[in-house]
Amino acid sequence: MVYINTLMIQTMLAQPHWQGRLTPRDYAALTPLIWEHVNPYGRFELDMSTRLALP
C-alpha cells in the first residue's frame, strides 16, 4: 500500500498545477503512510426505510 500511495503522490506532484505551490516544509510533511482512503471492511449501504425478510 505504501508503494501505491507513493506512486499516487508522485503522479499528483508531477502535474503542472502543483509546480511551485508547495514549500519545503510541505514536502517534508508528505508521507505515503496514509490510510484514510482504505476501508478494510468493505462498503456497506444501509437503507433504514426497508426491513429484512426474516424467516
What local confidence, expressed as pLDDT, does residue 24 receive? 92
Residue 23 in grid coordinates: 514549500
Please compute Rg for the chain using Cα positions. Answer: 19
What's the CA gap between 55 and 3, in Å, rounded? 47
Lookup: cell for 18: 502543483
- Residue 46: predicted pLDDT: 76
Cα(23)–Cα(11) distance, integer angstroms = 18
Per-residue confidence in pLDDT tens, the chain, 55 aa: 788 888 888 998 999 998 889 999 998 998 888 877 677 787 777 788 887 777 6
Rounded to whole angstroms, what are the CA distances from 49 to 43, 52, 54?
19, 10, 16
Q: Give the pLDDT of residue 55.
A: 60
